[in-house]
Structure 1
């Protein structure tokens, strides 16, 4: 009987820990969404071996785009992309397989990310309104930052 009670206590503690983690993830997401200049954005780096879409929230900063993974507890961004290093190559509708991995109604924005002497492909999936804001943010870069918006 005592072993059963201990097992139930352990199961209850695990369930409570799981619930607490879920609540913290939801609170973090709400805090991120309340900031000015945030939008839902999925990220994929196909050339770097990260062929899977990752859901998240992006936030504009003056010189970079910070991206926060949805299912994370970290207060820091998972990735940051310098404004001057991003070039928009094109945009397209997601194919059938991508449509289930990104937000409904999203478009895929194909970008080149210049990192030193290398340039890698980066794809961002966002809503049409978010793309308009993203393109405006890139175009409004201060003089001297060579940005390209297709």
Structure 2
């Protein structure tokens, strides 16, 4: 084989890998939000001085789930029950997070595991409204 053919094969393989990776990211995102549940960008960090990890937050009927933005897993990395999740007050975030415009930081979690979230202001409003509304079937016999 000539060097030109080898170069063409290597370039074709690289293009195929890039297209395959982009297709996987697109398909994973479609799968995560496939059944029409709201999904939004959200950063999370466990340590107040640690680095932010960008991910996807998904709201279900009774769960708040967080997926890493990159990775092969179709399962949430962390999940909280709706009735157990507690979010603090939002504070403007000075650190820029790529993908989040003017993010607000919120301390939240359950009694045993606390972490810090960063949302776009509109996403925080949506999560707060979801959190404060009644889950389906909760207190249905209230008159």
TM over 0.5: yes
Aligned counterparts of 1:7 and 1:80: Cα–Cα separation in 2: 46
1:104-115 matches, within 5 Å, as 104-114=101-111
Aligned equivalent of 1:122, options 115, 118, 127: 115
Deviation readout 1:60-84 (Å, 9 max, x if unpaired): 1122111122223432222212223
Deviation readout 1:81-104 (Å, 9 max, x if unpaired): 222332123321112xx2245611
Q: What runs of 5+ residues in structure 2 fail to find an aligned partner?
A: none
TM-score, structure 2 normalization: 0.74
Structure ranking higher in strand proportion: 1
Aligned counterparts of 2:17 and 2:75: Cα–Cα separation in 1: 22
TM-score, structure 1 normalization: 0.71
RMSD: 2.8
Q: What runs of 5+ residues in structure 1 fail to find an aligned partner?
A: 145-150
1:13-92 matches, within 5 Å, as 13-30=13-30, 32=32, 35-46=36-47, 51-92=50-91
CA change 1:20–1:3 in 2 (3 A) is same
Aligned counterparts of 1:102 and 1:14: Cα–Cα separation in 2: 26
1:90–1:110 CA contact under 8 A, matched in 2: yes
Matched positions, count: 136
